[in-house]
Amino acid sequence: MILVAAIRMMIVKIYTKIILKLASWNKSFYHKTIETLQLIKVGLATEKDETRVMLRTYIQYSKGKASREEMKIANAQFRDFLRTIGLGALAFLPFAPLTIPFIVKLGRKFKVEILPSSFREK
């Protein structure tokens, strides 16, 4: 879990440096970029909190203290966690700012959700 958080933060830092350098050329692009990065930060924080709850639920389940409803929620969060890991892997592809939106649109075309739930709401 710590490794995933470190990878997420590294990805955000890399994109921040690249985009801020590009954004210096255009002020409106700069402001849109800052807003987008803030939304990403909020989404990652939400995922982090939900993942902690998921892990607590799994621990409670191993002790026989979790209900079926709690397990359904935890399993849904686990699927979101896997989506987040997948997006992290896609972030290392060349031209990731272009390929990720393309893959998300392609996934929606085939009714496969690529984004975790905390990013879909934004």
Secondary structure of the chain in HEC code, one letter for each residue: CHHHHHHHHHHHHHHHHHHHHHHCCCHHHHHHHHHHHHHHHHHHHHHHHHHHHHHHHHHHHHCCCCCHHHHHHHHHHHHHHHHHHHHHHHCCCCCHHHHHHHHHHHHHHCCCCCCCHHHHCC
Amino acid at 109: K
Radius of gyration of the chain (CA): 17
115: left (phi over 0), alpha (psi -120 to 50) or beta: beta
Residue with tokens 């390929």: 99
For 15, the domain range is 2-120
- Residue-wise pLDDT for 13-50, tens only, equals 777 777 776 666 666 766 777 787 788 788 888 888 99
Count structural domains, the chain.
1
More confident residue, 72 or 46: 72
Helix crossing, 2-23 with 27-62: angle to 10°? 170
What's this model's pTM, rounded to 2 decimal places?
A: 0.66
Asked if residue 109 lies in contact with residue 98, where contact means CB atoms within 8 angstroms, the answer is no
Segment among 44-58, 60-74, 82-96, 98-112 with least mean pLDDT:
82-96
